[in-house]
């Protein structure tokens, strides 16, 4: 019970902070919209129609949803490092709640915030001529949350080990950009050079992008947009399983690492 | 259960090669103000961190409110309130949010929450500012908010780690008024670290710590007595004659110090009234200087406690505040 209250309180603070931080809310929207507008408009004509009668903006749009969730979820780690820097982490660590509930509350909090950021991108669907049904939105919510939670726990794991803000930001950027650009957001998985294809396949975010795209564009598993592992097209449920497995491993490691520190 | 609210036995904390706390033992009584005095790096903060479960001892034992600080962390955490050297507030939220967050994690019952928050905020004169974001608060206001937060869950022991470092004298006095009032009214035990001498004087008992070792522990008065007698400085119309008279009457060494005479006596405060009445000297000015805790520290360790050490720590403090990137 104590731990549940702890998780809730940590979660509540994250959401509250996001709510009061209008600048962060705005900038979280801005970046994905830039991608959509600049890459979309710039490459739309030269690329033309893609498989299944989808144009480039429509192809990219689900990936942009995933990117905004991804960026939001990385905040979980960043905010732990900030909390350490600004001292608030001490208030949290000395409170009568377990380290595990701190880590879990943090993961859920940033996943909630990241999902809200994803929802804000969903509102753009009519502008890119993608029609979303209520059913699709309901399917996307848990997908976005899962992607955010599994990526967020990676951030928390790193934050529990890396103490300086500068080092953390450097490492985050080193991780975030490849994860964003090599996740199949901007190009289909077909005909990639072998090294690139390999990186996309070991990038856990790719499976989130693929799952969200399968829902938004309604593509069948055997589509050129799917990820092929050993000749097998990964289905939406398999995507979910891979993300969940990654998330569970990261969360366990994060809880363990967080629980150990002084 | 014993009457000691804190019991520390043979506590050792090593960081690699460095021994930060070197086999110290002491007890703190219920309801007293216990002062930890020593220069930076003496092991004060490390000891506090162990007592409030932020660090694990390398060896030795410590209990707080009857709970073991290693094995019963949650109970210990429920029993304590903390005001740290550095701010530990969430400055992106309001004062009110900070206190609500604290009340929730410390299980202050929902029915009492708002009432208690109002009470502590009014006590530190921040009720009017409750809905302002903490980042707009001044340094003194932040410290007062931390104090209010530390008291919110009625802790048995309130830890104040350099509670007034870097604050102006007026704010320091203010904070002390709150602390003393609280200690009197609620019987809260206060565990204080400081290197301000005047602050250490407010303690019921003081432990002097140097290089991880406890070098003395007693009431401020007794510690100062340990150093020696009080110094009386006097000026008269005829210093040479007066010096002779004092020497023969009180059997004490008299020193000429410019146009003053200086001599040492026991219990200077009780000595003075009689001296003025009975000596028959034409006294034009007289003063009494008592040994300070500074003198005690100097005598015990052979070093000054303040000087550059305090200066450095404040500079360090300012730098670490000012040098931070906005987020």
Q: How many CB atoms lie within 10 A of CB B173?
A: 11
What's the rounded Cα separation, in Å, for the pair A209 and A227?
10
Predicted pLDDT at B305:
62
What's the rounded Cα separation, in Å, for the pair B302 and A223?
81
What's the rounded Cα separation, in Å, for the pair A129 and A138?
19
Q: Do B105 and A90 touch (CB under 8 A)?
A: no
- Which of A20, A83, A95 is nearest residue B105 as measured by Cβ atoms? A95
Q: How many CB atoms lie within 10 A of CB B31?
A: 16
Q: Residue A52 pLDDT > 60, yes or no?
A: yes
Q: Confidence band (pLDDT; 50, 70, 90) for B62?
A: very high
What's the rounded Cα separation, in Å, for the pair A245 and A254?
14
pTM of the model: 0.78
Per the prediction, chain B carries an average pLDDT of 84
- Which of A2, A13, A88 is nearest residue B89 as measured by Cβ atoms? A88
Predicted pLDDT at B316:
44
Contact indicator for B62, B8 with CB cutoff of 8 Å: yes
Q: Confidence band (pLDDT; 50, 70, 90) for B47?
A: very high
Half-sphere exposure (CA, 13 Å, Cβ side) for A245? Answer: 8
Q: How many CB atoms lie within 10 A of CB B80?
A: 25
**Angle, CA A143 vertex, CA A256 and CA A214 arms, to 5°:** 135
Among chain A residues, CA nearest to B149: A91
Q: Do B82 and A93 touch (CB under 8 A)?
A: no
Contact indicator for A31, A80 with CB cutoff of 8 Å: no
Q: Residue B190 pLDDT > 90, yes or no?
A: yes
Q: How many CB atoms lie within 10 A of CB A85?
A: 17
Between A262 and A149, where is the model more confident? Answer: A149
Phi, psi of B19 (to 5 degrees): -100, 105
Contact indicator for B276, B284 with CB cutoff of 8 Å: no
Q: Confidence band (pLDDT; 50, 70, 90) for B2?
A: low
Q: Do A91 and B88 touch (CB under 8 A)?
A: yes
What's the rounded Cα separation, in Å, for the pair A187 and A181?
9
pLDDT in tens, B103-145: 999 989 989 999 999 988 988 889 999 999 999 998 889 988 9
Task: From the options 3.40.50.300, 1.10.3720.10, 3.30.9.10, 3.40.710.10, give the CATH code of B4-224.
Answer: 3.40.50.300
**Which DSSP symbol is given to B324?**
P
What's the rounded Cα separation, in Å, for the pair A125 and A222?
24
Predicted pLDDT at B304:
67
Predicted pLDDT at A262:
54
Identify from A27, A86, A261 which residue to disrupt to test chain B contact, counting B C-beta atoms within 10 A and taking the largest count. Answer: A86
Q: What is the mean pLDDT of residues B302-322?
A: 49
Among chain A residues, CA nearest to B90: A88
Q: Confidence band (pLDDT; 50, 70, 90) for B60?
A: very high
Where does CATH 3.30.70.790 sit in chain B? 229-289
Given the DSSP bridges, would you call strands B205-210 and B33-37 parallel, antiparallel or unpaired?
parallel
CB contacts of A82 in chain B (<8 Å) are: 327
Q: Do B101 and A94 touch (CB under 8 A)?
A: no
- Which of A16, A87, A92 is nearest residue B93 as measured by Cβ atoms? A16
Where does CATH 3.40.50.300 sit in chain B? 4-224
Q: Residue B207 pLDDT > 80, yes or no?
A: yes
Among chain B residues, CA nearest to A5: B105
Domain range for residue A153? 2-260
Q: Which of A9-23, B23-37, B80-94, B278-292 has the highest mean pLDDT?
A: B23-37
pLDDT in tens, A184-209: 888 887 778 888 888 888 899 999 99
Structure-derived torsion over alpha carbons of residues B219, B220, B226, B228, reported in degrees to the nearest 10: -150
ipTM score assigned to the predicted complex: 0.81
Residues 6+ apart with CB under 8 A from B61: B7, B8, B9, B10, B11, B68
Between B47 and A87, where is the model more confident? Answer: B47
Q: Residue A58 pLDDT > 90, yes or no?
A: no
Helix axes A134-161, A165-181, angle to 10 degrees: 140
What's the rounded Cα separation, in Å, for the pair B139 and B87?
9
Among chain B residues, CA nearest to A164: B324
Domains held by chain A: number: 1
Task: From the options 3.30.70.790, 3.40.50.970, 3.20.20.70, 3.30.70.100, give the CATH code of B229-289.
Answer: 3.30.70.790
Residues 6+ apart with CB under 8 A from B322: none
């Amino acid at each position: 019970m104590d731990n549940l209250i702890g998780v809730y309180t940590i979660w509540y603070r994250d959401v509250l902070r996001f709510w009061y931080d209008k600048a962060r809310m705005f900038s979280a929207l801005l970046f994905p919209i830039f991608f959509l507008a600049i890459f979309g408009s710039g490459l739309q004509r030269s690329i033309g129609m893609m498989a299944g009668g989808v144009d480039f903006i429509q192809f990219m749009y689900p990936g942009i949803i995933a990117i905004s969730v991804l960026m939001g979820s990385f905040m979980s780690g960043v905010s732990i490092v900030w909390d350490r820097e600004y001292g608030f982490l001490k208030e949290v660590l000395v409170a009568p709640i377990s380290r595990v509930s701190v880590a879990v509350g943090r993961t859920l909090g940033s996943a909630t915030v990241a999902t809200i950021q994803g929802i804000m991108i969903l509102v753009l669907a009519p502008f890119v001529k993608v029609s979303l049904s209520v059913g699709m939105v309901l399917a996307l919510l848990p997908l976005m949350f899962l992607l955010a939670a599994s990526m967020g726990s990676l951030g928390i794991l790193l934050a529990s080990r890396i103490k300086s803000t500068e080092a953390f930001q450097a490492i985050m950027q080193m991780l975030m950009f490849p994860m964003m650009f090599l996740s199949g957001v901007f190009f289909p998985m077909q005909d990639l050079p072998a090294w690139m294809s390999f990186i996309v396949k070991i990038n856990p975010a790719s499976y989130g992008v693929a799952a969200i795209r399968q829902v938004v564009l309604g593509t069948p598993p055997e589509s050129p947009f799917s990820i092929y592992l050993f000749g097998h097209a990964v289905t939406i449920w398999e995507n979910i399983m891979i993300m969940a497995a990654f998330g569970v491993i990261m969360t366990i490691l994060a809880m363990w690492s967080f629980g150990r520190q002084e | 259960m014993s009457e000691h609210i804190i019991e520390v036995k043979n506590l050792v904390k090593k960081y690699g090669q460095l021994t930060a706390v070197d086999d110290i033992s002491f007890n703190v009584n219920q309801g007293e103000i216990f002062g930890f005095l020593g220069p930076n790096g003496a092991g004060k903060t490390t000891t506090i961190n162990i007592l409030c479960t932020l660090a694990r001892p390398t060896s030795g034992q410590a209990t707080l409110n009857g709970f073991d600080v290693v094995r019963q962390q949650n109970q210990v955490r429920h029993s304590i309130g903390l005001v740290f050297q550095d701010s530990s507030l969430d400055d992106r939220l309001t004062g009110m949010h900070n206190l609500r967050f604290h009340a929730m994690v410390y299980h202050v019952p929902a029915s009492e929450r708002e009432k208690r928050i109002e009470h502590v905020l009014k006590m530190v004169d921040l009720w009017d500012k409750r809905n302002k974001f903490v980042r707009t608060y001044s340094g003194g206001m932040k410290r007062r908010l931390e104090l209010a937060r530390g008291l919110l869950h009625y802790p048995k022991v309130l830890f104040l780690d350099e509670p007034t470092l870097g604050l102006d004298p007026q704010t320091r006095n203010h904070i002390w008024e709150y602390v003393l009032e609280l200690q009197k009214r609620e019987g809260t035990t206060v565990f204080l670290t400081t290197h301000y001498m005047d602050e250490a004087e407010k303690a019921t008992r003081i432990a002097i710590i140097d290089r991880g070792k406890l070098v003395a522990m007693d009431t401020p008065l007794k510690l100062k007595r340990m150093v020696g007698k009080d110094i009386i400085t006097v000026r008269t119309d005829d210093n040479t004659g007066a010096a002779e008279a004092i020497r023969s009457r009180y059997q004490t060494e008299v020193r000429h110090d410019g146009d003053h005479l200086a001599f040492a006596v026991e219990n200077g405060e009780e000595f003075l009234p009689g001296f003025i009445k009975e000596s028959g000297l034409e006294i034009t000015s007289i003063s009494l200087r008592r040994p300070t805790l500074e003198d005690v520290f100097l005598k015990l360790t052979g070093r000054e406690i303040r000087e550059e050490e305090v200066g450095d720590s404040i500079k360090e403090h300012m730098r670490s505040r000012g040098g931070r990137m906005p987020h």
